[in-house]
Amino acid sequence: LKGLFTILPVNAGLQYDREWLLKSLTGEILTQKKVPEMFLIKTFINLNQQILSVESPYCKRKLQIKLDSDSYLPGKEEFYLQNQRYEVQCYENEINQWFSDAVGQPCTLVRCCQSEYCFSLNKSRSMGMCRDVNSKVNFANEAQFLLISEESVSDLNNRLCSKTQKLSCGAPPNVNSMRFRPNLVISGGEPYAEDGWRNLRIGNTYFSSLGGCNRCQMINFYQQTGQVKKTNEPLATLASYRRVKGKILFGILLRYDPGNKARLDTNSCLKVGDEVHPNSE
């Protein structure tokens, strides 16, 4: 966490989080796994000026997009992704051209303005079998929030170091929390203590655990000297001790829990330094 974050009412997640995506001219959703150039795109939101700034080494100028945008095309589009129906707003050609240059192929930028879950084949609350079917999740795969513990990351790095020394294969990879693409990072406590949490409170905001986050090869990508590279770590090491029913779990998925209907109409805020109070019962 960096700075102050607002959780929107009606279970919408963090403000401005995971609201945008790129899609090809044929409608395919672009991901970092398929388009590594996306790793090099950097973003920053100025809340005071209400501007999203975007930059890429493949573009000479920095792009600035108004959050209350006058750059939308008229009307809205609808499409389905991960059992979710989305209404999206599309941007004008100048913005699309910038992103096309950044990723090296024609694409369009869209922003989520409404979503609705359609159906689910996966309603179990057991680890690795979770899905937030009651909340607006924007363009997240499974849930509004992904929490990572720095102690769990540290334990993983210790295992990577021991493995590298045992195999005598050079310097061990140093993995930080951001490799796992969380939107909540905590410190303190024991490694993997989060696995057993049923719910928790951060500051004055309540969350319910939906179980562990299943990991794929995305966490093996990393940046070095302006280039995107891929190895078999840390997924290979995680697979050796974090496999549950065929899934490799690291971090937990959370759902915002307003507690009562009265709180649904108000915003909650999270800030750096908020204490975390878990409940395992």
pLDDT tens profile 23-80: 999 989 999 989 999 999 999 999 889 999 999 999 999 999 998 866 787 778 887 7
Q: Please check whether residues 34 and 112 belong to one and the same domain.
A: yes
Question: In this structure, are 234 and 165 located in the same domain?
Answer: yes
Q: Are residues 149 and 113 in the same domain?
A: no
Q: Does 175 map to a domain?
A: yes
| Residue 155 in domain | yes
Helix, strand or coil, per DSSP, at residue 163: helix
Co-location of 191 and 82 in the same domain:
no
Asked whether residue 205 is domain-assigned, the answer is: yes
Beta-bridge partner residues of 207: 200, 256
Single pTM value for the model: 0.83
Report pLDDT digits (tens) over 137-178. Answer: 678 778 889 999 999 999 999 999 999 887 777 777 789 999
Q: What is the pLDDT of residue 257?
A: 84
Same domain, 269 and 190: yes
Compute the half-sphere exposure of residue 247: CA atoms within 13 Å on the CB side of its CA.
14
153 shares a domain with 239: yes
Domain end (from 98, 117, 136): 117
Residue 128 lies in a domain: no
Q: Is residue 95 part of a domain?
A: yes
C-alpha 147/C-alpha 189 separation (Å) is 14
Domain's final residue, options 102, 117, 132: 117
Residues in the chain: 281
Domain for residue 32, yes or no?
Answer: yes
Mean pLDDT of 93-114: 94
Each residue's pLDDT tens digit, 207-217: 999 999 999 99
CA distance 216 to 32: 12
Q: What is the mean predicted confidence (pLDDT) over 254-279?
A: 76
Instruction: Choose the final residue of a domain: 117, 132, 160.
Output: 117
Q: What is the total count of domains within the chain? A: 2
**Residue 55 domain boundaries:** 19-117
Q: Say whether both 34 and 84 belong to one domain.
A: yes
Would you say residue 51 lies in a domain? Answer: yes
Note whether 108 and 164 are same-domain residues: no
- The answer on 259 and 201 residing in a single domain is yes
| Closest to 209 measured CA to CA, from 118, 129, 116 | 129
Q: Judge if 96 and 221 occupy the same domain.
A: no
**Whether 87 and 153 share a structural domain:** no
In a domain, 191, yes or no: yes
Share of the chain above pLDDT 70, in %: 80
Domain identity same for 275 and 224: yes
